[in-house]
Structure 1
Amino acid sequence: MTTKYSIGEFGKKTGLTIRTLHYYDELGILKPTLVTDKGRRYYSEQDFITLQKIVTLKFLGYSLDQIKEFLETKTWDIKDSLKLQKETMLEQKKQIENVLKALDHALNVMEHHGTVDPSLFITLINGIQMESEHKEFLKTILDEQKVEHIYSTPDDRQREIEKETIGIMAELNKLYGQDVESKIVQCQIEKLIDLMSEVAGGDLSFLEEVANVEIENEDWIFPSPFTKEVEEWVLKGIEINLVKRGINLHERTN
C-alpha cells in the first residue's frame, strides 16, 4: 500500500510551510496526490521526487513559472536554457559584487569622515556603479591605454583616494563664497589636482581633451557633488591652478 502523508506531515518532512504547499498547489507545480471530498490533501513518495526537482531548479535560479514549464515537459532538453541561466547568474553575480564593492568603499569613507553630504555620497557610489560606462566614454576621447591606466589604481590606494577626495570636496563646499584664488581655497584645489595627477600617472594633459567634449546626459552619467554655483566656482579654481601647471582649459565647453 502506498504511503500517504497529510499536508502537515509532508511539510514537516520537507521543511516547507503549509502556506507554501498551498501556493505550489495553486501554481500547479506540486499538487497533492490525493484530495479528499472534505478537501484534505495527501502527498505520496512521488511528490518528494517532484519537490526535489523544484528545489534543484530553484537553486539554479529559475522562476516558479519556468519550473512549471520544465515539470510539464516529459523530456528535458534544456541545454540552451541552462546556458542562458548561467549567463544570467554571472550577470547577477557581477551586479552583487559591484554592490558589495560600493558598500565596502562607502563604509570605508563613512568610518573615516562620520557623516557625509548626500551629494558626495552619490558621487562616490556612482563612480563604482557606472565604472564600465565611464571607461567606455573616456575611450571615445582618450587613448585606451591611458584609460586603463587611470582605472588601474590598486584597491587599497583607491580607498585612500576616495577618503581624501570626499574630505577635499566637503571642505570646498564649506569654503564656497571665498575668493577662489585665496591661499586656503587653492590649497584644497591643489590637493584635488594632485590626486587627479596621481591617478593619471602624472600626466594631466588628458583634462584638456575631456574639458572640450560635450557630454550627453552629463548630470546622469557624471553627477556633480556640488550645486551648479559651487561647481562653477570650483572649476574656476581648478582652471587657475592648472594654468600654473601649463595646462589651459579656457576652451572648455560650458
Structure 2
Amino acid sequence: MSIQYSIGEFAKKAGITIRALRYYDEINLLKPSYITPTGRRFYTEDNIMQLQKIVSLKFLGYPLEKIHELIHLQNWDLQESLEFQRQEMIQKREHLNRVIRALDHALFMMEEQNTIDANIFMALIHNIHKEEEQKEWFTNYFPKEAVEKIFDLPEEKYMKLNNEIASLFSELKAAYGQDSESPYVQALLKQYFDLALIIYPETFELMENLENQEIESIEDEDMQLFPSPFSPEEEKWLVQALQYYWDKRRHSNEPS
C-alpha cells in the first residue's frame, strides 16, 4: 500500500500551500487519492507526480485552465503544445521589452524636463508601442531600405531625439495663437526638420515623393497609428505654419 499523506503533510512535502491544494481539488485539477467520510483529504506519491506536471506547466506559462485540459488528454501532442507555448512566451517577452523601453523613455524625459504635456507624452509612448505597425505603414509609400534606416537608430540617440522633439512640441503648443508665418514659429519648424534630417538625411525628398503620390485620404485606422499631441485648433494653425515653411523652402531651392 502506498504511503498516504494528510493535506498538511503533502503540502509541506510538495512545497505548496494547503489553500492551493484545496483550490486544485475544487477545480478538479489535482484530486486527493482518498477522502474520508469526514472530509479529510489524503494524498499519495502518484499525486506528487501529477503535481510536478502541474508545477512544470505553470513554470512554462500555461494558465490553470489549459493545464487542466492538457493533463486530462488521452493523446497529448507534447511537441506541438510546447512549440505553441514557446511562441506565446516570445510574444510576451517582446511585449515586455516594449513596455520596459517605453518606461525608459518616459523616465528619461521626466528627468530631463521635470514636466511634460500629457498629450505629447502619450503620443511619443504610443509611437514606441506601435513602431512595427508604423514601419509597415511607411513601406506602403517609401522604399523599405529608407524605412529601415529611419527606424534603425541607436537607442540612446533615439531617446535623446524623442526628448528634443517633446520639448519642441511643447514650444509649438506654447506658440499657438502667434502668426504662423512669424520668424519664431518658423524657426521652431526648422528645428523640427533639422531633427528629422538627423534621423534621415533624405527627409525632404521622401516628403516630396509622398506628396507627389497624391494620397486622397488616410483611413481612420491609419490615423490611429500616428496620434497627434495637438488639439484640432492647434493642428489647423500648425498646418498653415508648415505650408508656409514648405513653400518658402521650395522657392529658396528654385534656380534663379
The answer, yes or no, to whether TM exceeds 0.5 is: yes
Please name the residue that 2:219 is paired with: 216
Is 1:229 equivalent to 2:233 in the alignment? yes
Is 1:246 equivalent to 2:253 in the alignment? no
Please name the residue that 2:109 is paired with: 109
- What is the TM-score of this pair, normalised by structure 2? 0.90
Equivalences for 1:6-85 in 2 at 5 Å? 6-74=6-74, 76-85=76-85
Letter in 1 for 2:218: I
Q: Give the direction of change, closer, same or farther, for the CA distance of 1:88–1:244 in structure 2 (3 Å limit).
A: same
Instruction: Provide the C-alpha distance between the structure 2 equivalents of 1:125 and 1:16, rounded to a whole number of angstroms.
Output: 40
Shift of 1:133: 1.1
Instruction: Provide the C-alpha distance between the structure 2 equivalents of 1:190 and 1:228, rounded to a whole number of angstroms.
Output: 22
SS of corresponding position for 1:42: strand
Q: Deviations over 1:210-250 (max 9, x none)?
A: 454322114412110100111121222222223333289xx
SS of corresponding position for 1:197: helix
- Residue segments in structure 1 that go unaligned for 5+ positions in a row: 249-254
SS of corresponding position for 2:31: coil
Is 1:99 equivalent to 2:103 in the alignment? no
Shift of 1:66: 2.0
Instruction: Provide the C-alpha distance between the structure 2 equivalents of 1:110 and 1:208, rounded to a whole number of angstroms.
Output: 35
Instruction: Provide the C-alpha distance between the structure 1 equivalents of 2:101 and 2:251, rounded to a whole number of angstroms.
Output: 34
Instruction: Provide the C-alpha distance between the structure 2 equivalents of 1:208 and 1:26, rounded to a whole number of angstroms.
Output: 66
Aligned 8 A contact 1:150 1:201 in 2: no
- Residue segments in structure 2 that go unaligned for 5+ positions in a row: none
How many percent of aligned residue pairs carry the same amino acid? 39
Q: Deviations over 1:139-177 (max 9, x none)?
A: 111111111111112111111100000000011111100
Q: Deviations over 1:30-69 (max 9, x none)?
A: 1111111111111112211111110111111222222122
Equivalences for 1:150-189 in 2 at 5 Å? 150-189=150-189
Letter in 2 for 1:147: V
Count of equivalent residues: 248
Letter in 2 for 1:226: F
Please name the residue that 1:86 is paired with: 86
Question: Which range moves more in the overlay, 147-156 or 64-73?
Answer: 64-73
